[in-house]
Chain A
Amino acid sequence: MTEKMVLINEEGIRTDGRKPSELRPIKLEVGILSNADGSAYIEQGKNKILAAVYGPREVHPRHMALPDKALLRCRYHMAPFSVEERKSPAPSRREMELSKVIREAFEPTIFLEKFPRTSIDLFIEVLQADGGTRCAGVTVASLALADAGIPMKDLIAACAAGKVGGKIVLDLNDIEDKEGEADVPVAYMPSFDAVSLLQMDGLLTGEEFQQALSLAIEGCRQIYILQKEALKAKYQAIKESVEVAEQE
């Protein structure tokens, strides 16, 4: 290992100029792919991630269909060019695990029982990765599901907190994720105060973890507001285009 880099300076400013409890700039767009039933795009820091939803639709292969509810399938995948060293396009073990925990994060919010014998397929493609892709992936997938008109109890917002240079910080970027002491990704249903995804790696004391968890939840609440704005913006744009057409 080379010498430890300075991830947070004496004034508490991070490598990208943020304060400890500050999110990276987030840009959200809803309904950007014409074939998918629902789609969305997120930029969070240098992360660029697409999500698309197909369904509820007929299940293939048919034997996987469930008699009493929809089958939710999720694929989290990173493009080969999304990282520094080319990543093999074959699904890695990491991607398999993340696909599973992301699916489990959405199962509690979707009214799956309303669509028996169907599948809802959720695809998350990371086009450029900059740390915290699973959380940004959940945030954007939530919008794609809403865009597909899938009934949900709540939108799910996700954000990580962690420990970097001895401080608890929000929304770790790539370097902080790799060189930092700990990372706690959280997905959260704000209307229910319920955590639907939680992982952790690194080393944290019980108190530090508690701080990180509340900071991550605070980040989720901020992202939740942005998600709702992004959904409204799509329909606002449609409304405006109709108004323009009527005037002509």
Chain B
Amino acid sequence: MTSVMVSRIRRQQIAQLIDDGKRLDGRGLKDYRSTQIESGIIGKAEGSARVRLGKTEVMVGVKIDIGEPFSDRPNEGVLTTNAEFVPLASPEFEAGPPGEESVELARVVDRGIRESKAVDLEKLCIIPGKKVFVVFIDVYVLNHDGNLIDASTLASIAALMNTKVFRYELKEEEIKKKPEFVKLPLKDIPISVTFASINGKLIVDPWLDEEEVMDARLTISFSNSGKICAMQKGGSGTLLPQQIIEAVNIAKEKAEELREIVVKS
């Protein structure tokens, strides 16, 4: 992803180790880094979570507001995902409008949640065609050490799981907030699994130096039912069709492991 200088000798070392089925940080090719999830850490947000994936750290805050539905979906609430590469997270990040990388991150996280229909948007309609709940997912990268997509997807879904929506009273199309809350209606727990391809070998959960060396990146998201709900190839290399199929099979298993961690948190 972001360009961090990795010396040529380190590149060689990373690639050679992977050829032998090993990794610089001692992990196996299909191992995730240690994953920690803390939920409900921002009281002002309707939902929140912080995920640590090794040294990668991502916080997600969910805010709920009232807005207008899209004209082609008058009976559904609105879901928007935004990702911020906060300058304190990496020497490579700069303040300013979102770049390609953060737009891609937000859109891939969004795709997993949207396509799995994780948030029951039909239950977020207040007055059809006029007033609906808007769910804002804000991904805040706090420390970038690789694989922001998986860390952000985990944090987003963990945050959605503890999101509460205020109850309201309708008086002649006037919405009055009540001091009571219900849980955000969720139907699925989408999980993304990201690979890096280095010298034709697939590794799971690349950290920053591996991302720097990788030829291509592949993210596959799975819904509860074990169906694929989103996919994204990144990086300036190519993947062979059989590599992609292999990745799908590995990812399905890995998604189950990660889902267990999220459900327990």
Q: When the two chains form their complex, are residues A104 and B241 in contact, meaning their CB atoms are under 8 A apart?
A: no
Tell me, rounded to whole Å, the shortest Cβ–Cβ distance linking B205 to chain A.
19
Q: Determine chain B's interface SS by DSSP, over half rule.
A: mixed
With a cutoff of 8 Å between Cβ atoms, the chain A residues found around residue B115 in the complex are 201-203
Which chain A residues border B225 with CB–CB below 8 Å?
Answer: 203
Asked if A5 is at the interface of the complex by the 8 Å CB criterion, the answer is no
Q: Is B130 an interface residue when CB atoms closer than 8 A count as contact?
A: no
Q: Which chain B residues lie closer than 8 Å to A103 at the CB level?
A: 236
Report chain B residues within 8 Å CB of A93. 98, 103, 106-107
Chain A CB count within 10 A is highest, among B116, B225, B245, B252, for B245
Find residues 198-221 in chain A having any chain B CB closer than 8 Å to their own CB: 198-206, 209-210, 213-214, 217
Contact of A199 among B73, B226, B233 (CB under 8 A): B233
Instruction: Return chain A residues, CB-CB under 8 Å to B234.
Output: 100-101, 104
Pick from A9-17, A140-148, A186-194, A237-245 the stretch touching chain B. A186-194
B106 touches A198 (CB 8 A): no
How many CB-defined contacts (below 8 Å) exist between A and B?
99
Known contacts A96-B100, A97-B103, A100-B104; A203/B227 CB under 8 A: yes
Q: Is B235 an interface residue (CB 8 A)?
A: yes
Complex Cα gap A210–B244 (Å):
9
B248/A209 in contact, CB under 8 A: yes
| B4 touches A (CB below 8 Å) | no
Give B107-120 as 1s and 0s: 1 = Cβ < 8 Å from A's Cβ atoms: 10001001110000
**Minimum CB distance partner of B233 in chain A:** A198
Chain B residue numbers with a CB within 8 Å of A108 are 236-238
- Determine which of B103, B229, B235, B244 lies in contact with A202 in the assembled complex, contact meaning CB atoms within 8 Å: B229
A192, B236: Cα distance in complex, Å: 15
Complex contact B252–A195 (CB within 8 A)? no
Does the CB pair A196–B107 fall under 8 Å? Answer: no
Residue of B with least CB distance to A95: B103
A150 at the interface (CB under 8 A from B): no
CB of A197 closer than 8 Å to a CB of B: yes
Tell me the nearest residue of chain B to A217, going by C-beta.
B241
Tell whether, in the assembled complex, residue B226 and residue A195 are in contact, meaning their CB atoms are under 8 Å apart.
Answer: no
The 8 Å CB contact of B228, one of A193, A195, A205, A214, is: A205
Q: Are A203 and B223 in contact (CB under 8 A)?
A: yes
Give the residue name and chain of the B residue nearest to A100 (CB).
Answer: B100
CB-based contact B236/A205 at 8 Å = no
The residue from B107, B241, B248 contacting A97, defined by CB atoms under 8 A apart: B107
Q: Give the contacting residue for A206; candidates B111, B114, B249; CB below 8 A.
A: B249
Report A-chain residues with C-beta under 8 Å of the C-beta of B196.
none
Closest Cβ of chain B: how far from A177's Cβ, in Å? 13
B contact residues around A96 at 8 Å (CB): 100, 103-104
- What residues on A are CB-neighbors of B103 within 8 Å? 93, 96-97, 100
The answer to whether B106 and A195 touch across the interface, beta carbons within 8 angstroms, is no
Which single member of B104, B107, B223, B230 contacts A200 (CB below 8 Å)?
A: B230
State whether the Cβ of A225 lies closer than 8 Å to any Cβ in chain B: no
B49, CB-defined interface residue at 8 Å: no
* Structural contact, A94 and B107, CB atoms closer than 8 A: yes
Query: Is the beta-carbon distance between A104 and B235 smaller than 8 angstroms?
Result: yes
CA–CA, A1 to B252, complex, Å?
A: 31
Of all chain B residues, the one with the shortest Cβ separation from A202 is B115
In the bound complex, how far is the Cα of B245 from the Cα of A108, in angstroms?
21
- Once A200-B230, A201-B230, A205-B228 are accepted as A-B contacts, the answer to whether A195 and B75 lie under 8 Å apart by CB is no
**The residue from A192, A201, A214 contacting B238, defined by CB atoms under 8 A apart:** A192
Give chain B interface residues in 32-49, CB to chain A under 8 Å: none
A37 near B: Cβ within 8 Å?
no
CB distance from A175 to the nearest CB of B (A): 13
Residues of B within 8 A of A198 (CB): 218, 231-233, 239, 244
Q: State whether B106 touches A204 (Cβ < 8 A).
A: no
B230 A210 Cβ-Cβ under 8 A: no
Give min CB distance, A172 to chain B, whole Å: 15
Q: Assuming A93-B103, A206-B252, is B233 touching A107 (CB within 8 A)?
A: no
Is A122 at the interface (CB under 8 A from chain B)?
no
Interface residues of B (CB under 8 A from A): 73, 75, 98, 100-101, 103-104, 106-107, 111, 114-116, 218, 223, 225-241, 244-245, 248-249, 252
Q: Given A199-B233, A200-B230, 13 other A-B contacts at CB below 8 A?
A: A1-B73, A99-B100, A108-B238, A194-B238, A196-B233, A196-B237, A198-B239, A199-B232, A200-B232, A202-B115, A203-B115, A206-B248, A206-B249
Can you list 22 A-B contacts with CB-CB less than 8 angstroms, sorted by A residue number? A1-B75, A96-B103, A97-B107, A100-B103, A104-B234, A104-B235, A108-B236, A108-B237, A194-B240, A196-B238, A198-B231, A199-B231, A199-B233, A200-B231, A200-B232, A201-B230, A202-B115, A203-B225, A205-B226, A205-B228, A206-B249, A213-B241
